[in-house]
Structure 1
Amino acid sequence: MTTAPLSLLLGPEAPELLAAAIDGYGSRLRALRVTTVGVQPSGATVVQYAADVDRADGRRTRETLAATTGDRIPDGAAVLAGHGVHVGVWRWPQDPALPALATATDPVRLSAALRSAGLPRDDVTRIRTRAYRPGRRAVLEVDGGGPRLFVKVVRPRAVAALRERHDLLAAHVPAPRPLAATADGMLVLSECHGTSLRSRLSGDLPLPAPADLGELLDALPPALLHLPRRRTHLERVRHFTAVLAATAVTGEAERARLDALATALAWADPGTHPDVAVHGDFYDGQLLCGEQGITGLVDVDTAGPGHRIDEWATLLAHLSVLALHGTAAARPYGARVLTHAEERFARDELRPRVAAAVLGLATGPFRVQQAGWAQHTRARLELAERWTAG
């Protein structure tokens, strides 16, 4: 059943609540469209919107707005109430949990911040948003006045550890080098050249051999073992199930099928595996490639201790979902990766882990409000069932 916060933030009352986020700027909300939806099993929700806004000076603009409930409301958000639900709202880039975001998205202020950090950059000509998770993080691409940079904005308390992780990895693998950091949560990173493995799969370009991927993973520094551990996909199956039940899997028969899948994965034998250094979210979107092979390993926020089998399971899950949705090269390449992985790990330990990762990806179509998300969710759940059955 859909949660009350979710019903409120996706329902007809949402425009009235979100209008409060722009009223203080003398603007008027004309239209509102949901772009992403994040739901926790607790019911805490964060929704991102694209809004058409009439400004006080007569211009009509497209704005990004956010609304959060439960423990997802950050300090500093404007808090409103609707149908007994407290909702925190803000407009991009005034994210109260990411105080550096307003600076990082303004060319003049960003140039000044870069100069203060020892990176002279007098002519920032373009800032492009590459990713934004309200209240969590943003990634920005910066051009002009020198080599391209990437700026990652996180919560202030997280920036020092993130810089340390990048410093550690960049000495061993082609991860972005940290160039500067600010106390309010901005980390400036070098560019890794190349095209993503996902793009190469779509463009029929040469692909790295699975053995090359294995060498990259083996090069991860053992010092990562001292960092916090991230839960595996198998350990998060109940979380994924609860999110799907609250959002995309509402029919009685579908829910019973989902519960049966979760039960089967709970009974799967994970085996015994040594702790090693892992990326933590190893898939085609995180790998950059060039003519000479792998040129970049990005989004290393999750790097730490884990099991090597889970790295291969995550990659296989993403490749199988890509194949499911029409990326032709993903199927034969996934078969090569699977052969490589099954030469190293027991089949009955690897495949349930792939299924669990696919189950996590099944939350994606609803989260990004993909057209036909119900059909896409069903297809991914069926794929997880096939991996579980072996």
Structure 2
Amino acid sequence: MSSATRPRPSSAVSGSSGAVMSSAVAIEPTWPAALKTLLGRDAAEMSTEYFRMLDADALAVRPRQVAYRSGSSTTVRYDVDVRWPSGTTTTEPLVALLGRKLPEHAIRMGRGDDTVALWHWPNDPMLPGLAAAIDPGHVGRLFADLGLGDDPVVLRVRAYRPGRRAVVEADNGTVRVFLKVVRPHRAEALHETHRSLAGRLPVPDSIGWTNEGIVVLPGIGGATLREVLHSDGDVPDPAEIDSLLDHLPAELAERALRTNWLDLARLHADSIATTVPGAARRVGEVIGRLDAASDAAVEHPVVPIHGDMYEAQLMVEGGRVVGLLDVDTAGAGHRVDDIANFCAHLSVLALVSRPSAPIRRFGARLLAHAEQRHDRADLRLRIAGAVVGLATGSFRVLEPDWERHTLTRLDLAGDWIASARRDRPPD
């Protein structure tokens, strides 16, 4: 946004009534103040104040997503029904952030002893390229500048993580690209990462980048492995996935070392205990068992890794991998953590998918292949650690009955720990 005191309007209107929380969240007494503020009645009041600055009526507020980072920040995205002067009602994404460091050029509102930063779509103060990326005229000029044609473009928002990144699909009927919007200081490095990997792996070769933080990536054919699994289609051999990771360039191992899943599990456990108090005892038990079963003597070399490897990162066609996505997470780490993350995602996906048999079959094949290269018990414990990380997801998206879903995933982590017993023969 260009102003620190008044948001840029997407329309204009007058109004007087206050917004209501149309999907109320039950506030836990033990929650930290940030969660109580951003998920309680203050959310409706702040929404009302915010849109009144645009001379608009905020009618209803629905919290949609929470990013809680202990000791750092809490971010909540809402859908707000807004009535504009013409009488038209639209749903506007609104984001509120409470933390130690607030972004510049966001609207600030005091709540008790705290200050909350707010912005509405697409005026993300940390993603200044977002507004341009969803403007057909701007994207059309970008297409022309890059030699992609001058036909009108059709845009579709594919992902948005407030303050972190967004992905917009752009198609002019001849060329389809994906505009990845990141913080401006990261754009050139992401462009260079794609350029360096594209000749060695089926990674989209960056077409270009802008100073405002837009990286232009070509579309890739096929469907995600997740989509293929849901349709029980032809899947790649696990050895092919291993081969992809083998071809990651050695220089990636010179980057900062990523935290392994055994250590990450403890951080995620703290988050679960805070956000889902009803799961605090269970997650404590799981982490206790994980620590007791871990063997510090198992060592892994530091190698290049993808960093966020799972079924939605692979594009598949005819049973072969034709694309590898989201390589901005690539860096140094332990190969076993890439595979553990993949297996963890598949095991959680099987919990919530119908039919689940294709997912379970592929997961079993991937696990069996991985156990030929990695210590069986250590691999399964790291899978358990990754499942603990995924157990944060139900609260993050405010899934109905998130406590039950969190406990179900923690039980799954417990099953992986039990299966890792070193005196137990392979399944």
Distance 2:377 2:220 in 1: 36
Please state how far the C-alpha of 1:263 moved relative to its aligned partner.
Answer: 2.8
2:352 matched to which residue of 1? 325
Q: Which amino acid aligns with 2:156?
A: R
Point out where structure 2 has 5 or more consecutive residues left out of the alignment: 1-29, 420-427
Q: Does 1:233 align with 2:258?
A: no
Q: Which amino acid aligns with 1:154?
A: V
1:269 matched to which residue of 2? 295
Distance 1:239 1:119 in 2: 46
Please state how far the C-alpha of 1:145 moved relative to its aligned partner.
Answer: 4.9
Q: Is the 8 A contact 2:282 2:410 kept in 1?
A: no
Q: Is the 8 A contact 2:170 2:178 kept in 1?
A: yes
2:157 matched to which residue of 1? 129
Q: Does 1:378 align with 2:404?
A: no
Deviations 1:179-207 (A, max 9, x none): 01011111010111110110111101011
Q: Is the 8 A contact 1:124 1:142 kept in 2?
A: no
SS of the equivalent of 2:150 reads coil
Q: Does 1:20 align with 2:49?
A: yes
Q: Does 1:175 align with 2:200?
A: no
2:26 matched to which residue of 1? none
The 3 A distance-change label for structure 1 pair 21 and 230 is farther
**RMSD of aligned residue pairs (Cα, Å):** 1.5
Alignment of 1:235-254 (within 5 A): 235-248=263-276, 250-251=277-278, 254=279
The 3 A distance-change label for structure 1 pair 258 and 89 is same
Distance 2:281 2:273 in 1: 10
Distance 2:49 2:312 in 1: 37
1:196 matched to which residue of 2? 224
1:56 matched to which residue of 2? 85
Please state how far the C-alpha of 1:292 moved relative to its aligned partner.
Answer: 5.5
Point out where structure 1 has 5 or more consecutive residues left out of the alignment: none
Distance 2:284 2:319 in 1: 46
Deviations 1:226-267 (A, max 9, x none): 23332222221222012111212x13xx42221222233334
2:284 matched to which residue of 1? 259
2:251 matched to which residue of 1? 223
Q: Is the 8 A contact 2:134 2:155 kept in 1?
A: yes
Percent sequence identity is 41
Runs of 4+ in 1 over 4 A off after TM superposition: none
The 3 A distance-change label for structure 1 pair 121 and 58 is farther
SS of the equivalent of 2:201 reads coil
The 3 A distance-change label for structure 1 pair 43 and 303 is closer
Q: Is the 8 A contact 1:48 1:67 kept in 2?
A: yes
Q: Is the 8 A contact 2:274 2:280 kept in 1?
A: no
Q: Is the 8 A contact 1:18 1:67 kept in 2?
A: no
Deviations 1:333-360 (A, max 9, x none): 1111111111111111101100010000
Q: Does 1:75 align with 2:100?
A: no
The 3 A distance-change label for structure 1 pair 156 and 329 is same
Please state how far the C-alpha of 1:26 moved relative to its aligned partner.
Answer: 2.4
Distance 1:57 1:380 in 2: 47
**Corresponding residue to 1:47 among 76, 81, 88:** 76
- TM (normalized to structure 2)? 0.87
Q: Is the 8 A contact 1:280 1:311 kept in 2?
A: yes
Distance 1:71 1:138 in 2: 23
Q: How many residues in Structure 1 have an aligned counterpart in Structure 2?
A: 386
Distance 1:28 1:389 in 2: 54
Distance 2:404 2:142 in 1: 46
Please state how far the C-alpha of 1:16 moved relative to its aligned partner.
Answer: 1.2
Q: Which amino acid aligns with 2:295?
A: D
Distance 2:77 2:152 in 1: 27
Q: Which amino acid aligns with 1:317?
A: A
Q: Does 1:107 align with 2:107?
A: no
Please state how far the C-alpha of 1:94 moved relative to its aligned partner.
Answer: 0.3
Q: Is the 8 A contact 1:193 1:288 kept in 2?
A: yes
Q: Does 1:66 align with 2:95?
A: yes
Distance 1:346 1:175 in 2: 29
Q: Which amino acid aligns with 2:208?
A: A
Q: Which amino acid aligns with 2:377?
A: D
Q: Which amino acid aligns with 1:62?
A: T
Distance 1:37 1:202 in 2: 27
1:8 matched to which residue of 2? 37
